[in-house]
């Protein structure tokens, strides 16, 4: 196709959730804005569900601006039906149910996605479930398996064990023969993590996770730490690592600076790495989507991998969804349902 191809008559305006100034959840309000037009290599999705993620909250607070060219409207993962494709883009995608990782704009009735960042929603999977997968799945797969080089039989320590990221790490770990130890902030959350499939869960408010990890591993330590805290956790993570261990940082909720021993890194051959997914190139995300479609998506199709959804809100209640995420009172994902 050389020009925009559509399946149905598409409205010119849509409802979305946006904010004028950074602030608390209450700054998220319903607005009317033009329906985006897909460019070459892009598709237009009529959104049925959108995942809510911690980066959305940080963006709303003013600390994580969208990358250049990305929509101001929050929302990094969507599920819905392709209703149009951009120029020179395969129009066979029109009518397909897809979920996608997007750079922004998910909290809306329509959203543009890169065609090569989309995954076909298998039959038997609801749109809410599909929308709860891309951000955490892409993040955990890349950081645990590509950056952390996770291998069969290894032990992983995951902080935030009942978060969307944490629950996905537990489930992927089980499916790919990893032993997953998690930290959580309450006994109830520890119990929930064990129910999801964690091998062990440590209440970090009542126990020293460094000492607990040493005990659980017979003094050896874990091969990988998947860390969402940063700050003062980094030297403690290093103390949890076995020789040749890898620490992968994906968020800095506990601070952006840490004091560590460089000699310890050298002596024990430790690897400290990390990443943020949103600003990565389209080509990188396309390669990641392709690998996930081959290695993981068949497990979604069979139901072996299914997201933990804690709550669902209509789009208009996005502020309530953000308030719940900020409270920390959840196990798994929050999803906005549209229409």
Architecture of domain 5-133+278-337: Alpha-Beta Complex (3.90)
Rounded to whole angstroms, the Cα distance separating 148 from 73 reads 32
Please tell me the pTM assigned to this model. 0.95
Rounded to whole angstroms, the Cα distance separating 280 from 130 reads 22
pLDDT(184) > 70: yes
Which CATH number does 136-274 carry? 3.40.50.720
Same fold flag, 5-133+278-337 and 136-274 = no
Listed by start position, the domains of the chain span 5-133+278-337, 136-274
Rounded to whole angstroms, the Cα distance separating 27 from 60 reads 8
Local confidence band at 5 (pLDDT 50, 70, 90 cut-offs):
confident
Which residues, 6+ apart, have CB-to-CB distance to 137 below 8 Å? 168, 172, 292, 296
**What is 55-120 written as a DSSP string?**
HHHHHHTTSSPPPTTS-SS--SEEEEEEEEE-TTS-GGGTT-EEEEE-SS--SBSEEEEEGGGEEE
Rounded to whole angstroms, the Cα distance separating 40 from 59 reads 27
Closest CA to 120 of 95, 146, 139: 95
| pLDDT tens figures, 43-80 | 999 999 999 999 999 999 999 999 999 999 999 999 99
| pLDDT tens figures, 209-241 | 999 999 999 999 999 999 999 999 999 999 999
């Amino acid at each position: 196709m050389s020009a925009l191809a559509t399946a149905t008559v598409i409205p010119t305006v849509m409802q979305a959730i946006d904010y004028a100034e950074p602030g608390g959840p209450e700054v998220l309000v319903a607005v009317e804005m033009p329906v985006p037009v897909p460019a070459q290599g892009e598709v237009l999705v009529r959104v049925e569900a959108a995942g809510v993620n911690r980066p959305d909250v940080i963006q709303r607070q003013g600390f994580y601006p969208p990358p250049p060219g990305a929509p101001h409207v929050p929302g990094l993962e969507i599920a819905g039906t392709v209703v149009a494709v951009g120029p020179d883009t395969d129009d066979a995608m029109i009518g397909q149910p897809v979920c996608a990782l997007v750079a922004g704009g998910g909290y809306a009735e329509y959203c543009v996605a890169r065609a090569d960042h989309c995954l076909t929603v298998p039959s038997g999977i609801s749109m809410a479930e599909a929308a709860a997968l891309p951000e955490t799945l892409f993040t955990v797969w890349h950081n645990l398996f590509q950056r952390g080089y996770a291998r069969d039989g290894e032990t992983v320590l995951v902080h935030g064990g009942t978060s969307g990221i944490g629950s996905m790490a537990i489930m992927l770990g089980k499916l790919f023969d990893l032993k997953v130890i998690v930290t959580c902030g309450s006994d109830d959350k520890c119990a929930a993590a064990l129910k999801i499939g964690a091998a062990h869960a440590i209440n970090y408010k009542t126990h020293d996770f460094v000492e607990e990890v040493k005990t659980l591993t017979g003094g050896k330590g874990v091969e990988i730490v998947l860390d969402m805290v940063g700050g003062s956790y980094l030297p403690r993570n290093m103390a949890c690592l076995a020789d040749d261990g890898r620490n992968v940082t994906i968020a800095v909720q506990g601070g952006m600076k840490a004091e560590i021993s460089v000699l310890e890194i050298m002596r024990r051959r430790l690897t400290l790495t990390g990443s943020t997914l949103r600003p990565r190139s389209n080509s990188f995300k396309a390669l990641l989507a392709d690998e996930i479609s081959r290695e993981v998506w068949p497990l979604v199709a069979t139901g072996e991998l299914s997201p933990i959804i804690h709550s669902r809100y209509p789009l208009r209640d996005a502020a309530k969804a953000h308030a719940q995420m900020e409270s920390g009172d959840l196990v798994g994902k929050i999803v906005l349902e549209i229409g």
